[in-house]
Amino acid sequence: SLTIPVKNERASIGIKPEFSDDLPENSIANFTVIGVNADGQKQEAKGLRWKFYSLNREYQWYREGTAWKYEPVYTAEQVSNGSVDATMDGGKISVPVGWGRYRLEVESPDADGPTSSVEFDAGWFVSSTSTETPDGLEIALDKDSYKIGDTAKLKVTSRYGGELMVTSGTEKLVAVQNATIGETGGEINIPVTADWSAGAYVTATLFRPGDAQDSHMPMRSIGIKWLKVDPEQRALQVTLDTPEKMLPRGPLNISLQVAGAGANEDAYVTVAAVDVGILNLTRYEPPNPEDWYFGQRQLGLEIRDLYGRLIDGSLGATGKLRTGGDGGAIALQASPPTQKLVAFFSGPVRLDAEGKANVSFDIPQFNGTARVMAVAWSKSGVGHGVKDVIIRDPVVVTASLPKFLAPGDKANLRLDIANTDAPAGDYKLQLTGNDAVGIEQASASQTIRLEAGAKSELTLSLIGKQPGAGSVSINLSDASGLSLDQTVDVPVRPASLPITERRVLALKPGAKLTVDKNLLADSVLPGASISVNVTRSAAFDIPALLMTLDRYPLGCAEQTTSRALPLLYLAEVAKQAGMANDDDVKKRVQDAIYRVLSYQASAGSFGLWGPDSGDVWLDSYVTDFLTRAREMKYDVPERAFVQALENLQNTLSYTTDIKGQGDQIAYAIYVLARNKKAAISDLRYYADTMINDFPTPLAKAHIAAALALYGDAQRSKTIFLDALQMSEQSMVSRVNLSRTDYGTILRDGAAILALAAESRPVPPVIPELAKAVGKEWQRSKYKSTQEETWMLLAARAIQGGDDGLKVDVNGAAHTGAYMARMTGDALADHPLTLTNQTNDTVSAVVTTVASPTVPLPAGGDGFIIERTYYTLDGEEANVSEAKQNERYVVVIHVRETNDWPSRIVITDLLPAGFEIDNPNLVDSAQMTNFDWIGEISAAHTEFRYDRFVAAFNRAAGDNREFNVAYVVRAVTPGTYDHPAANVEDMYRPELSARTATGKMEVVTAQP
């Protein structure tokens, strides 16, 4: 809100109520009245006349066209009047009030003199906003809460007399009372009993008979009010004893005292200490169990009658009766915190016999306010306590710096130094970087003068050196021995997305292979990943497949499933390849299960980027993963799993187009068969009469595998052989349909191989199919997540063929397939030498994932991508010299050069001096504010600290040109790499394009 003073050009009268909020019933309302001249100064005002009114509301019905409408009509009934002299100290007015809404008017005795007024409520009056309809009944209670055994007085103000029915209840009806009231209303006594628990809704319904002469008046009015019951001894009193202020980098000791627990019952408490800056992001309110258990509930009863049938409801708007709730209030209110997070939780702590407990948290480097929140409970009561603790150094150093850098970037590092509690004097400031980020030597050490309570500002130069976890250590000290240390993190990442390269080398008997840093001569070593695999089959390169899947940056339902599915069976291989230990693998799989379940819709289906329906193949794929995870004893919530299976069953009940949707139907049948929920009669019908209608070899393999699960080995074998023949034909003809099942020729072949290996008895297709899949793998330069996942599962089918392989690794003998994964830094320090000690030639596969030292030029295949910057008004902008604090709209225009169904992802790496205005945090960054951009149809967007990501689902026939946009702000002055914007078909990764790279500068804002 904004308060703006308004200059008054004439004398006026000021009225100040000597009370806040509303007055109780049958009390005295006191006011002070002053005179004010045209300059806003007090002046005497004699002979002021005042009138005091009671305000009443009626309704005027009128006809507009064919509809009856109404509007409230307010009338004022004068209750009292008088006169008052306003001296320089003001004049006093006192008037008695009853129940309702009132207005005090004060006017000058002069005909053209000023007049002022003020309105207020008295007696727990229900404000008019809650009864702004003719059938709303104004009711009020005499107190805000009651104890069991009290009698509540319900005041009813009506516009007509009649029969009143008063009901009390929440989830069930507690009491019913009837009374007759007159036109002026009445008062009803309501006994408060133990049946009311935490409280109840009091509903008053007033009826009157119809009147032909007055038919426009309503014949039924309803009012509702929450009656709160005091929890008394069920509310525990929690007292927190904490320091008001403390230094960081030490323990925060919290003592608690809980009163009100029973003498012979156990009581517990949990304590949290959280940075207020974090809590402000979503306006987080401290836990309040008293309000949860004893506060106002949602009305659990329905109110029904036939009154609505007396009026033509189609001519009006549906009425709404508010009974509480503010679910729409959550909104992000601030930018995320930039310093080390403070968020601690104690877990349950048992109170001692005196109701006391002590909790301590080790506070890291932090300057700010931590909110301590405690929740206590016992068998008979609950309670909570809240207290804020200021945590800061005597001299607070706040660093303003970019959220990341790229190698070669040079940014301003601004330090704001506030001497809050330290003495005045000279202080030495020392800054030190690390391998990833450095400080310009001239400014790394200096002496500054700080007066008591004063502030100082410094600007230094920060330089990105190489990718890694960059950090700057700041030390401030003085001659007295005070020494304050602080570390700020600045991650450094390459200015280009990583590129995957695969080299296959034939190692003859006795041949050597040296893997060293020369392998990455054109790549950025820090942050690079390298896998080495020596085996008899180069196609099934397990460590490289696991590595590239692990590095895939997106998290849709398909990609999450694809990364986790192989780990169900290849955990041991993942450990051998240096991927993770056993616990890490299990956690990755379990986290993936929970993540994909967050994409499940209420009907059991799954969406690619969130709860959705319509993609039956994706539904089957995720449910297949969940099925296999249950088989491996992972936690898959029963209800969610049952819904997923029921969704597939429901889909099959109305999906019968085998030629058009056979791939989806077959996969769903296979998943149901794996769960013993498919109909064997349907399977045999498809196998005997419709198998040639299924459009892909994988669809046939799913039917074959489903038959094997039900023991029909002969039909299964026949169809697996048919699938093998169809797969080999597709590999020869290179027919790759415009598919919607995330599939390719390679994916289908690998999946068939995996399904065949799992079937019992094993069909005689594996040797021939493994060779065909290996050749197809060699042919494909780029791999999708689907291809990599099913290749990993297929690798299980041919494991064991490397038992006789012997290789020396840096002079040490190794038997069997050799696999390893290492970082670029490790490879530079410890080269790897491999020698083939077997009598036949083996394959050595070296796969690297690294960013190039020289960015790729603009261009690509399958897409044309353009990136343009605009001002907020839609004028094209040049950001090669962007002004600090300026905001720009980044518009990315993409044209797809084919008409296939596609799932597209756009990734735009930011220059380090820019930050995205997240529309979830900043309303002005909503794209609806920029109608000149046109329609944006992204299926998913991400606003990360260093990049913008958007995903699109394009169907055949969709417009192949589309835009996406977001808002950035030039924040940190400096010179930066300007990375390219990239677009890629997620399931045809050979189709991708990028814009040009460049350099840009953020220029310091002028005061």
φ and ψ at residue 811, rounded to 5 degrees: 90, -10
CATH of 395-489, one of 3.50.50.60, 2.60.40.10, 3.40.80.10, 3.40.50.10800: 2.60.40.10
- pLDDT of 159 reads 75
Whether the per-residue pLDDT at 891 is higher than 80: the answer is yes
Whether the per-residue pLDDT at 900 is higher than 50: the answer is yes
Give me 787's structure tokens. 């291809």
Greatest mean pLDDT among 54-63, 97-106, 974-983: 974-983
Find out if CATH 2.60.40.690 is the number for domain 859-1003.
Answer: yes
Closest CA to 342 of 242, 268, 252: 252
- pLDDT of 57 reads 74
Stretch 370-394: mean pLDDT: 95
- pLDDT of 735 reads 59
Q: Domain segments of the chain: what residues? A: 12-122, 138-230, 233-298+330-391, 395-489, 498-536+801-850, 558-793, 859-1003
Q: Please, which pLDDT band fits residue 2 given cuts at 50, 70 and 90?
A: low
Distances (CA, A) of 758 to 597, 751, 797: 26, 11, 8
DSSP letter string over 416-427? EEEESSSPSEEE
CA distance 489 to 339: 9
Whether the per-residue pLDDT at 639 is higher than 90: the answer is yes
Whether the per-residue pLDDT at 329 is higher than 50: the answer is no
Closest CA to 776 of 802, 804, 747, 754: 747
Q: Please, which pLDDT band fits residue 778 given cuts at 50, 70 and 90?
A: confident
For residue 62, the one-letter residue type is Y
> How do residues 354-369 score in pLDDT, each as one tens digit?
999 999 999 999 999 9
Whether the per-residue pLDDT at 331 is higher than 50: the answer is no
Whether the per-residue pLDDT at 22 is higher than 90: the answer is no
Least confident of 5-19, 167-181, 333-347: 333-347
- pLDDT of 321 reads 42
CA distance 621 to 381: 48
Q: Residues with Cβ < 8 Å from 469, sequence gap 6 or more?
A: 434, 436, 489, 491
- pLDDT of 340 reads 73
For residue 713, the one-letter residue type is A
Q: Please, which pLDDT band fits residue 263 given cuts at 50, 70 and 90?
A: confident
Cα 406 to the center of its chain, rounded Å: 27
Q: What is the largest CA-CA distance in the chain?
A: 120
Buried-state track 857-878, b at ≥16 Cβ within 10 A, e below 16: eeebebbbbebebbeeeeeebe
> 758 or 8: which carries more pLDDT confidence?
758
For residue 489, the one-letter residue type is D
Is there a cis peptide before residue 637, judged by omega within 30 degrees of 0? Answer: no
Architecture category of domain 558-793 in CATH: Alpha/alpha barrel (1.50)
Q: Look at the chain and count its residues.
A: 1007
Half-sphere exposure of 244 (CA within 13 A, CB side): 0
Q: Please, which pLDDT band fits residue 319 given cuts at 50, 70 and 90?
A: very low
CA distance 141 to 157: 12
> 711 or 60: which carries more pLDDT confidence?
711
Least confident of 218-227, 891-900, 914-923: 218-227
- pLDDT of 307 reads 67
- For residue 928, the tally of other CB atoms under 10 A from its CB is 9
Whether the per-residue pLDDT at 246 is higher than 70: the answer is yes
> 21 or 951: which carries more pLDDT confidence?
951
End-to-end CA distance of the chain: give it in Å, rounded.
Answer: 26
- pLDDT of 581 reads 61
> What does pTM read for this prediction?
0.75
Whether the per-residue pLDDT at 546 is higher than 60: the answer is yes
> How do residues 383-403 score in pLDDT, each as one tens digit?
999 999 999 999 999 999 999
Q: Determine if residue 912 is left, alpha or beta; phi over 0 gives left, psi from -120 to 50 gives alpha, anything else beta.
A: alpha
Least confident of 425-434, 579-588, 654-663: 579-588
- pLDDT of 633 reads 95
- For residue 791, the tally of other CB atoms under 10 A from its CB is 29
CA distance 516 to 826: 10
**pLDDT, the chain, mean:** 88
> How do residues 708-747 score in pLDDT, each as one tens digit?
999 999 999 999 999 999 998 888 776 565 677 888 899 9
Q: Please, which pLDDT band fits residue 483 given cuts at 50, 70 and 90?
A: very high
Mention the CATH class of domain 498-536+801-850.
Answer: mainly beta
> How do residues 124-180 score in pLDDT, each as one tens digit?
654 444 455 667 788 888 888 899 999 999 988 887 888 999 999 888 888 999 999
Percent of the chain with pLDDT over 70: 92
Stretch 92-105: mean pLDDT: 91
- pLDDT of 325 reads 37
Q: Please, which pLDDT band fits residue 1007 given cuts at 50, 70 and 90?
A: confident
- pLDDT of 134 reads 66
- pLDDT of 324 reads 40
> How do residues 558-574 score in pLDDT, each as one tens digit?
999 999 999 998 776 66
Least confident of 37-41, 297-301, 654-658, 696-700: 297-301
- pLDDT of 763 reads 94
CA distance 479 to 465: 34
> How do residues 168-212 score in pLDDT, each as one tens digit?
988 888 899 999 998 878 889 999 988 888 899 999 999 887 654
Q: Residues with Cβ < 8 Å from 738, sequence gap 6 or more?
A: 899, 900, 901, 956
CA distance 306 to 206: 14
Whether 498-536+801-850 shares its CATH topology with 558-793 is answered: no
DSSP letter string over 19-36? S-SPBPTTEEEEEEEEEE
Whether the per-residue pLDDT at 677 is higher than 50: the answer is yes
> 880 or 59: which carries more pLDDT confidence?
880
Whether the per-residue pLDDT at 35 is higher than 50: the answer is yes
Q: Name the CATH superfamily for 233-298+330-391.
A: SOR catalytic domain (2.60.40.730)
Residue/partner pairs of 603-608 with CB below 8 Å, 24 or more apart: 603/643, 603/647, 603/650, 604/640, 604/643, 604/644, 604/645, 604/646, 604/647, 604/648, 604/650, 605/647, 606/557, 606/644, 607/557, 608/556, 608/557, 608/558, 608/903, 608/939, 608/940, 608/951, 608/953
> How do residues 933-973 score in pLDDT, each as one tens digit?
988 889 999 999 999 999 999 888 888 899 999 999 999 99
- Enumerate the H helices of 800-881 as residue ranges: 824-829
Report helix, strand or coil for 157.
strand
φ and ψ at residue 405, rounded to 5 degrees: -140, 165
Topology classification of domain 138-230:
Immunoglobulin-like (2.60.40)
Give me 175's structure tokens. 């009491």
Whether the per-residue pLDDT at 7 is higher than 80: the answer is no
Residue 128: DSSP 8-state:
G
Name beta bridge partners: 124. Answer: none
> 329 or 538: which carries more pLDDT confidence?
538
- pLDDT of 974 reads 97
Topology classification of domain 12-122:
Immunoglobulin-like (2.60.40)
